A = this chain, B = another copy of it.
């Protein structure tokens, strides 16, 4: 999906990048289109390789130029040009801010105004509904009191948005309900710890599918480079927290106070009991059932039922804890 939330700088060259990273320029300069993750990068995009977890992706990527470090560079196929740095993620952050100079500004949207329902088809709105520029809202939607929809957000048909909701940098499908107090699309909790923490640009979006329900007081952050995704038919209960880049599949049931750390991938028809936590960068298969209160710290294959902290086979857990 094309990223239309952040304006991309044009005519960035590899030597602009190298300068930003305080590295030696190349003799033969060339243009770079964008920065993307390995799996989504196209041939004129730069990408990055910062963990062996992505060894499959580095083999199949379309990118021809990759930021990496000394330790990992030998795994990279020969046809890919390497930019070697000390701290891959910090360098990616610098390059991202070169492409998206406005992405670090996460202050409130100054372009919002009281909504005018005449601009939309059969829209019902409450009091004090604020809407930004270039917002698209489909037909037959409702938006509750004191809700704020920032510029460029897209909402499909037949959606119900509750009261006190805040939506930014998000694309929402059809027949989806967003309940009271949800905060969607804020930048993720990504930064480089230092004396004065360096904030990381989050240029990804939050993509929510069709027939989804997002519970009260949920906080769902947008992606950093890729998107955060909530699949069709997935329902989230109250007080759920979804960090940046998390991808939740279709027809999942996520009960109250569940939390997802960044970049985890959740399959389809996954059921997660209340207050469970899913660590970052994990892969949870399809049809997985996670009992309430579990702490998941490693990948879970499809069709498993787990429980406990750390989560393990539910039968084993219950036997050990009779």
- Answer whether residue A85 sits at the interface, using C-beta atoms and an 8 A cutoff: no
Extra inter-chain contacts (13) besides given A148-B164, A181-B219, A261-B274, CB under 8 Å: A107-B160, A110-B124, A130-B145, A164-B164, A189-B235, A196-B233, A197-B251, A238-B241, A239-B239, A243-B256, A279-B292, A292-B295, A293-B309
A interface majority secondary structure: loop
Of the listed stretches A19-27, A62-70, A210-218, name the one at the interface; the rest are far from the partner chain: A210-218
B292–A277 CB distance below 8 A:
yes
Binding site for B on A (CB under 8 A): 106-110, 112, 114, 124, 126-128, 130, 142-146, 148, 160, 162-164, 166, 175, 177, 179-181, 183, 186, 189, 191, 193, 195-197, 211, 213, 215-217, 219, 221, 233, 235, 237-239, 241, 243, 251, 253, 255-257, 259, 261, 273-275, 277, 279, 292-293, 295, 297, 308-310, 321
- Residues of chain B contacted by A238 (CB below 8 angstroms): 183, 186, 189, 219, 221, 241
Oligomer: number of copies:
3
- Residues of chain B contacted by A275 (CB below 8 angstroms): 259, 275, 277, 295
